[in-house]
Amino acid sequence: MFIKKIALTLTMVSLLFAACTKEDASSKVATPELDPLETQQATVFYFGGTWCRTCGSLGKPAKEALKKELKDSVTIVSCQIDDPLKNADAAELAKLFNADRVPYMYTAGAEEPSFRVLVLSTMSEDAVSKARTYLTKSPTANMQASFYLNGNGLLQVDSKIKFFKDVPNEFYVAAYLTEDNVFSVQTADSSFEKDIHHSVLRTKMGMSITGDKISENPIKKDMIFKKSFQTDLNPAYRKEKLNAVLVIWKKNEDGSYVISNSIVAPINN
């Protein structure tokens, strides 16, 4: 009888431990194991609309040229304005960049002022040339990230941010949910992939469009910070085509923001 009681107690403890383990796993933070590399990324924010003829003839081909020439060295966030792919966060970013018309394309990075790519017949060449200039810059900070669907059914991105310099300014990190291979008919589409849109902004992952402050205290060289963001998985999105785009923003003394660095984290299926 005594042996049976011991066995029953052990079984109950085992079940309780298993339940706790399962609950913990659902909210587990999957911090990247590797430290961020000291590399600089070019970041491009594009504003366009499927109704816009120039977006189809020049803007969309310019995005293709950037990915073809710079490959994984460029981060693109495509903000659709006043079309079926629009959302409030795209409109808020348009205000941040003073993008009052489309197509608008800005290249950014390394805390330098954003360059606006001119809407001319040479837009593709100009976009690649401007974006390439950032790749030789020395980065202030960089990131690694894990992006996955957690046990609670939420999309979650966990990041590790490392600084390579002492910085006196405030720095923020923002996370954006983007989707590739989105079909929407584009007027006057001269790109290679007709009516297919990549890096389409779906929503920000957090409360602010420029993200969360990385530290309340002065940031010194070799400091590492960890930030996590979550958002709902909208059933209209195709999970396997989603990416988390993380952008480090520097806040200037006048209250304006410039981009420091960025990464793209594909979802871990």
The verdict on residue 84 lying in a domain is: yes
Query: Could you tell me the pTM of the whole model?
Result: 0.88
The residues near 138 (Cβ < 8 Å, ≥ 6 apart) are 38, 40, 110, 164
- Residue 33 placed within a domain: no
Tokens of 45: 């924010």
Q: Note whether residue 216 is domain-resident.
A: yes
Q: What is the pLDDT along the chain (269 residues), one digit of tens a residue?
A: 444 444 444 444 444 444 333 333 344 667 777 889 999 999 999 999 999 999 999 999 999 999 999 999 999 999 999 999 999 999 999 999 999 999 999 999 999 988 999 999 999 999 999 999 999 999 999 999 999 999 999 999 999 999 999 998 899 999 999 999 999 999 999 999 999 999 999 999 999 999 999 999 999 999 999 999 999 999 999 999 999 999 999 999 999 999 999 999 999 97
Confirm whether 194 is domain-assigned. yes
The answer to whether residue 207 sits within a structural domain is yes
Domain of residue 53 covers 42-266
Q: Does 10 fall in a domain?
A: no
Whether 15 maps to a domain, the answer reads no
Q: How many distinct helices (H) and strands (E) make up the chain?
A: 5, 14
CATH code of the domain in which 218 resides:
2.60.40.10
Contact 45, 77 (CB under 8 A): yes
Counting the structural domains of the chain, the total is: 1
Task: With respect to residue 115, please indicate whether it lies within any of the assigned structural domains.
Answer: yes
